[in-house]
Structures are given as structure tokens and as C-alpha cells.
Amino acid sequence: MKTLFWPCILFLFLNVVVAHAEVDPHSYAEPSRVSMTALDLDIEVDFPTKKLLATADLSLAWHDADARSLVLDTRDLDIESVKAVDAQGREQDADFSLDPRDPIFGSALRIALKDQVPNVRIRYRTSPEASGLQWMSPQQTASKKQPFMFSQSQAIHARSWIPLQDTPSVRFTYTAHVKAPKPLRVVMSADNDVKHRLDGDYRFVMKQPIPSYLLAIAVGELDVRVTGPRTAVFAEPSVIAAAAKELEDTEKMIEATEKLYGPYRWERYDILILPASFPFGGMENPRLTFATPTILAGDKSLVGLIAHELAHSWSGNLVTNASAEHMWMNEGFTTYVENRIVEELYGKEVATMQLVVDDQELLVEMQGMTPEQQLLVTDLDGIDPDEGLSGVPYDKGRWFLRFLESRYGRDVFDPFLRAYFDHFAFQSITSTEFLEFYSENLEKKHLGKVSSAEIDAWLHLPGIPSNAPVAHSARFDAVDKAAADFIAGNLAAKDIQAKDWVTLEWLRFINALPETPEIAQIKALDDAWNLSNSGNGEIAFRWYVATVRAGYTDARPQIAAFIERIGRRKLVVPIYEELARTPDGKAFAIEVYARAKPGYHPMTQGSVEKVLGL
């Protein structure tokens, strides 16, 4: 098997690349002419200058007999040299130029070649302001002893730390040699050795082909705990025990997903708990999910996020959208699979509550969107894909798959999804390719279940179609009654029977509050339930938004502490948005942001500064 693996993967990869004629609007690359098949990195991590000093060797497959140039994506890279490397390993200088910098897409690196060489070697340095890297001082970490650095390549930030074809339509294997200060551990989206000595010299292999946005690296004071036969958790020393306990069900999650959708094909599934500045809840880097510490609630109530990132091992990492315009194929499928994992491990009642909350919040979010922003298949030409993300690809995408499940039944739909993951494994595809597979393997075998018009409405029309299945939670009936009675003044805050509520019930209650709550009611809730001091990030950020809308300034110290400590965009940007609606709130937000900014990832900084008009 080992001797056949590499050539089989390469053969599959070459055929996939040639098959894609669709142009990715977010990449300068020309993969229909020449494409990457492998990447070999040699990196020195330089904390004093906040730079990576690196060499990238790109293995190439040529598809156009007339092509003699290679176009790569870069952003703010200092290119020192480019060498053409022939089949015998001989190097020759290659002419190159960098296009003027585009604020969204960076600069095309254009390499002129005399022959169709199998490799190019690029020596370069990253910028201290690289959008895909965050450099943290010791003071910004939990222990305050050592510096920390981590990457975030999605959507198009890999180009800020590696010159490459930065499009999900291109998949490649990679190896890396990384040197870092000896007290620190290096981990990557590859084969991490949990027993590796902290000797400052690390080597990695990723033998499954991945798209560029799944390239990941982190360097810091990291401890490790094994949590299962193929799982481990990496985290800062002060966090590792809590993280390992919270994530002890990871192996069970893998087994539950395998039972539904086939074998896990990435060998290990480890998790890295990053510092609180990480801008996302999680990032599905293969073999090593990056996760926010805000999921460590102490009661496993937020580990659905890990179910989501694990689900990406089938949807997204294994079968990938060919461009960001088909993001629903990554996130919609993954959010659907996430809910099925939650149901398998924690029961249908919890999974249904999750559906109800997510559906409700999506409908509220869509009220502020243009019709074009509500489409599953989108046109993002000229638009930063970071700004194109919303609840639509995630929750409307999931809702579409629930619709198909409701029509065909799980006994039919589950085998179809498993066959889909098998058929397109390690490929990047478009919505059209999904629909062709759906037509042959589901629609034509079960005629009359779903019409073409219904499919078109889900994918190409705004809103949620009227035929969408509606989730209902009996436990939420009691929450809704308590909320209605409280809002009407018929139930005192202290008399709400919420002592045993789980996170989802609190989310449902807070979401039921009026758009502009009465300040007296907000104060009463806080006095009774101490919500301003909640240690649960999902509850806290929704509560802080409600306090701002009510004008309840007593919560401002807790708000300031929250947004200074946490850099996760989902949790902090809505708070800044609400504060910015009034002059007094905006002044407070700007004051707090000035303190918080050094600890924020560049992506979070950009989002907040856009909200605050800075």
C-alpha cells in the first residue's frame, strides 16, 4: 500500500487540476497551464524581527505545451531569489517580477522560465505585518514567559507567508523543515510527533494533498496530552489540563463520524488550543485543528465546535470547494455533519436545540443582507473572501441538506453522502459537479422526491424556501414561555426556573429579549443570574450586546475585560457594532480597542477598525 500511495495520489491530483476550467477570482495563478503538486519548505522562525526566513521548493506539473511562465500569489513577501531547477537538480537563476500590490489580493509573482522545469526554488522573507501570521510577545500569552506565533491561512492569507498558487482548486502534498528557539515547540498541519524533543529542529510531512488555505504553523510554549489512540491536545501549560479534560470525547466523535460517512483518512486528529487572540472559533487544519480557548467552558457545552472542525475532515479537507464562491460546499456540509455528530454523542434533544438556535439566528442575520448575499452559490469577484463569510454558507447550506434528508430519508441520504465523500476524496469541486453527482446518484434513482425548481431555489434564490423543514425543541417551549412572561412583567427574573439550563437554553432566552430591552429588566436579570460575569463566551457576547442595546452601562467593565482578553471575531465584533451605534458607546469602544489592539490578530484588527471607522 505504501509503495502505491504516492503515485496514485499524484495521478488523481493531476487529473483533478486539468478538469477545472473555472477561474478562481481570488487568485492570480494559472493552474490550467501549470500547477503545483508538492511543496517543500525550509523555515527559520525569527521572533526578534517577526519574520520567517524561508525557502520554498515548488514541484510543478505542466498542462500547456506552450507555457513558459509561472504565476504565483504573494502578499508583502520580500523575494530574494528565484531558481529554476531541472530534473538533475541543477539550478539556474530565473527572471521574476512582482506586480503592484492590490489591497485585497496582494501581488502576482511572475516567473519567466526558459524550459518547463520540474521545480522552482524561491528564497524569501515574510513581512512583520503578514496578514496570515500573528506574532505575540510573552506578555500576550498565558504564562507570559515565551513569545508565540501562529498562522491563519484561510481564506487567502497563505500567500502572505508562502509564495504559491493560493487557490483551493489546487491541491498538493508538502514537507517542511522548521528551526525555532529551543524552548518552544513547533506544530504544523502535518504529522506532529507528540514525543518530539524541544530541540528547535522539526521536520514535517503531509502526504495527503491539501489546498493552500490548510497550510498551518504554530510556535510557542506548548505542552501536550494524549487523549486517545489517534488524538492529542496541544496547549499552553496553564491550559493543557482543562483542555484535555474538555476534549476527552474526541475519539468518540471520530468513531461516530466514521460510522456515518466512512473512514477517517488523515491518520491522526490532534487539537491545538491557541491563545485567546485567535480570530476564529476553530480552523480545520488537517491533522491539527486550531481552536479558540473560548470553547473551554468546563462542561463540554461548547465542544460542538470541535465536532464542526472534525467534520471538515470529510467535508472541506477531503472534498473541497474549488473557490470561495462555492463555500457552502465546505461549510454547509460540515455544519450538517457537525449536527449529526452532536446527535450521535449527546442525543437528539441537544442536536435539535442547536438547530433551532442556529436557524433563528440565521433568519435574523439575513434580514440585514442584500438578496445577493443570501445566495448559496455566490459571485465574489473583486470581494475579499473574508468579508464574504456569513451564516449563509454555514446554516443555509446545512438547512438545504436537511431539506434533502427530509425528502429522501436518512436511510437513503446517509449512504449518498458517504458515496459523495468517497467519490470526490482529495478533490476540489464546484457546485455544478456536486449537482451532477446528486442527479446521477440520488435524483434519478428516486424520481419525484425533489424537483429541479426546488434545488434551484435553495442554491440560486435569496431567503429560505417555504419547504424548509422546521426544527422544534420541546425544551425551548418552557424557555419561550419564561421569556414571554418575563418580558410582559409577569415573571420576576429571580423566579425564572433556569438553574439547570444548558448553554443553548440561555442562548434561546437571550435571543428572545426585545431588540431594545428595558434597562430595569436587564439589571434584574444580571442581579439574579450574574450574566455579566458569565465564563461562557457564547452566552457572554450575546448578553453584552443586549446590555448595550438597553443602555445598561453597569456591564461595561466586564465588556472591556472580555474584548481585551478575547480576539475571536464572532464574539467581539458584534459588541463593537452595537457600541458604535451611539457617540458615547463608540468613544468607549475606541478607548477599549486601543488597549486590546496589540493582542488582536490582524484579521480581527481589520474587522474592528472597519466597524469603528478607524
**What residues are annotated to the active site?**
309, 394
The CA distance from 45 to 421, in Å, is 37
Judged by DSSP in three states, 198 sits in coil
Fill in the amino acid letter for 577: E
Strand 319-321 and strand 427-429: the pairing is parallel
Helix axes 569-579, 537-550, angle to 10 degrees: 0
DSSP 8-state secondary structure symbol assigned to residue 554:
G
Task: List CB contacts of 380: < 8 A, sequence separation 6 or more.
Answer: 25, 26, 323, 324, 325, 388
CB neighbours of residue 449 within 10 Å:
15
- Judge contact between 171 and 209, C-beta under 8 A: yes
Fill in the amino acid letter for 566: I
Strand 172-179 and strand 34-46: the pairing is parallel
- Judge contact between 169 and 24, C-beta under 8 A: yes
CA angle, corner 219, sides to 253 and 225, nearest 5?
40
The CA distance from 281 to 466, in Å, is 31
The CA distance from 142 to 136, in Å, is 11
The CA distance from 116 to 534, in Å, is 60
Residue 50, Ramachandran bin (φ over 0: left; ψ between -120 and 50: alpha; else beta)? left
Joined grid coordinates for residue 360: 433563528
Q: Of 373, 392, 31, 10, which Cα lies nearest the Cα of 173?
A: 10
Joined grid coordinates for residue 177: 523543515
Residue 419, Ramachandran bin (φ over 0: left; ψ between -120 and 50: alpha; else beta)? alpha
- Judge contact between 257 and 337, C-beta under 8 A: yes
**CA-CA-CA-CA dihedral for 450, 427, 171, 340, to nearest 10:** 60
